[in-house]
Structure 1
Amino acid sequence: MKKHLILSILLLISLRYSFGQGEKMKEIDDGGSGPYPAIAVSEKALSDFVVYRPENLPAAVKEEGKLPLMVWANGGCMNSSIHHERLLTEVASHGYVIVAIGSLQMTVEERVHKPTPDQELVRALDEMTNLSQQAGNVYHDMLDLDKIVAAGQSCGGAQVMSIADDPRVKSYMMFNSGMGDMTMAGASKESLNFLQGEIIYIVGGESDVATENALMDYERIDQVPVVFADLLEGGHGGTFNQEYGGSFARMALDWLNWQFKGEDQTGLFLQQELDNYPGWEIKSKNFNP
């Protein structure tokens, strides 16, 4: 009896992880706290990426309209988003589609560290754009390609900067990342000159090795609006390992909803009203009054 019960449980787990024709699906944090329970899924046409998205895309689009798209680059410029999956799931559950570099891993033990090409985010954009335009595809007519954000953590932020000149990208998010005087992943301080949209740096205080470089970037950027959001005791790992991605995820969602969904967050980002963000400091510049 016990053996049959164990086999039944294993079968249910395998069915839950199966998706489509040989594709895999994973649920993190019960799909996130948002109104659209999210999944992480490997798509046959995107074998080198993970898509984090509402499980019921049509329902989310019916309520929200076409969904904004995020392309995500990982810490270390590596080929796995598993250490960022809680934040990415949380964002997706609020009505976003995210394409992250690296194939889907079910457990940390599966992770094989390999570096990824500097321009991998361009491939993510190209392939997701193609899928969204193919009739009969699950993403067909589901994405708002005028609302694209490039985001990344640590070295992944340099991969974001390497595509700063891509006209499809309307906003940028740098988590625990900054160029400073470094050259990395095909980007350098010169890449700041190619930014075309509003950018936010989300860092973890003095113990975050990226904070100094992020501050240098903040001072140097003068052609686009920029926000510097600092969780003073966050460290280089931020809150990625916390349920629902912690306050890094909440900050990310406030930024995204302000950028792409018309939510008024000027109090937070321009007036530094931080009642909901204890332990944080924020500053901003280059915004029109």
Structure 2
Amino acid sequence: MTIIPNLRVLAPFTLLLLCGATFAGVIEQKVLDEGGSGTYKAIAATQESLPGYVVYRPVNLAQAVKAEGPLPAIVFANGGCNDTSFPFERMLSEIASHGYLVIALGAMQRRLDDRQLEKADNAMMIRAVDWLAIQSASEQSEFHHKVALDRIASAGQSCGGAQVLATASEPRFTTYLMFNSGIGDMTMAEASRRSLSDLHAPILYLLGGETDVATANAQLDYQRIEHVPVVFANHLTAGHSGTFEQAYGGSFAALALMWLDWHLKDRKQFKSVFAEHKPEAFPDWELKAKSVASHVLP
């Protein structure tokens, strides 16, 4: 039996998606957590001009840009260095709903087993930034003048964090986020402890406690980084999988958003969370920081 939903009780955004609405340049899309908790309902999209990636973005770019100005961006590399952001899509959609563009490595999946996974190349990180620049410059693109090219974060989970470090010298990255990741004395994805010297902007580590296999390596990174501001945020019980499967990405997404809002949107009210170790809304987290209290955004 086919169940027909009562369209009168559905939220307008859900109704729009059910009716098969399409958006300029989007050839495939899906919605997570009703588009996120932010002001700008978001979709996960396959953009015609960027095959092999997922773009998590506000549906109505014009509305978001009118309110926020050009949108900051995040390039995201996945756990296992895999070519899928499926395990992290709730967090990435949530971030997008707050007025960001998130470019994740790997084509869209409906299920984690709907295709064979491959390893994403480090060069995909740089190609994502190139795409943003091209789209922002093109009068034919819906992203024309809608991207804040001077505010781009590089982020990754687990092995994806190694890809962040491997490409850390890219000058267009203005902050870094390492989810359940640290290089320590390993070599992974062409990154090693020497890659830490390539960091040229503030970096946030988000770990999952003693059961997170990345915690010890991240601790070593924290000890070794002296030339840029660094924060070590540790969720005591989350483990290596973080809170990514929770609605809206859980507290990993919420804390990351505060960092992004501070560094990419200059919302200074969030500085104290990291500089003064005051995550009042995050009782499961412990934070420590170096060179953060005196850091002034460019």
TM tier, smaller: over 0.9
CA displacement at 1:164 relative to structure 2: 0.7
In structure 2, what is the equivalent of residue 76 of structure 1? Answer: 80
CA contact (8 A) 1:72 1:99 kept: yes
Identity of aligned residues (%): 46
In structure 2, what is the equivalent of residue 211 of structure 1? Answer: 215
CA displacement at 1:4 relative to structure 2: 9.4
Is 1:246 equivalent to 2:250 in the alignment? yes
Q: Name the stretch that deviates more: 273-282 or 107-116.
A: 107-116
Encode CA deviations 1:94-137: one digit per residue, 9 max, x unaligned.
Answer: 00001000011123332422111122101111122111211121
Among 176, 185, 194, which residue is 1:190 paired with? 194
For the aligned residue pairs, the C-alpha RMSD in angstroms reads 1.9
In structure 2, what is the equivalent of residue 100 of structure 1? Answer: 104
**Superposed counterparts of 1:28-43, under 5 Å:** 28-43=32-47
CA contact (8 A) 2:33 2:248 kept: yes
Per the alignment, in what secondary structure is the counterpart of residue 129 of structure 2?
helix
Mark the CA change 1:4 to 1:89 in structure 2 (over 3 Å): closer, same or farther: closer
Distance across 2 between alignment mates of 1:239 and 1:4: 32
Q: Which consecutive unaligned segments of at least 5 residues does structure 2 have?
A: 6-15
Distance across 2 between alignment mates of 1:17 and 1:284: 45
Per the alignment, in what secondary structure is the counterpart of residue 45 of structure 1?
coil
In structure 2, what is the equivalent of residue 157 of structure 1? Answer: 161
CA contact (8 A) 1:119 1:162 kept: no
Distance across 2 between alignment mates of 1:14 and 1:105: 19
Encode CA deviations 1:126-164: one digit per residue, 9 max, x unaligned.
Answer: 122111211121111100000000000000001111111
Among 273, 276, 296, which residue is 1:268 paired with? 273
In structure 2, what is the equivalent of residue 279 of structure 1? Answer: 284
Mark the CA change 1:59 to 1:212 in structure 2 (over 3 Å): closer, same or farther: same
Q: Name the stretch that deviates more: 260-269 or 69-78.
A: 260-269
Distance across 2 between alignment mates of 1:207 and 1:223: 29
**Superposed counterparts of 1:83-122, under 5 Å:** 83-122=87-126
In structure 1, what is the equivalent of residue 236 of structure 2? Answer: 232
Q: Which consecutive unaligned segments of at least 5 residues does structure 1 have?
A: 7-11
CA contact (8 A) 1:67 1:97 kept: yes
Per the alignment, in what secondary structure is the counterpart of residue 202 of structure 1?
strand
Q: How many residues align?
A: 284
Distance across 2 between alignment mates of 1:25 and 1:165: 32
Mark the CA change 1:251 to 1:4 in structure 2 (over 3 Å): closer, same or farther: closer
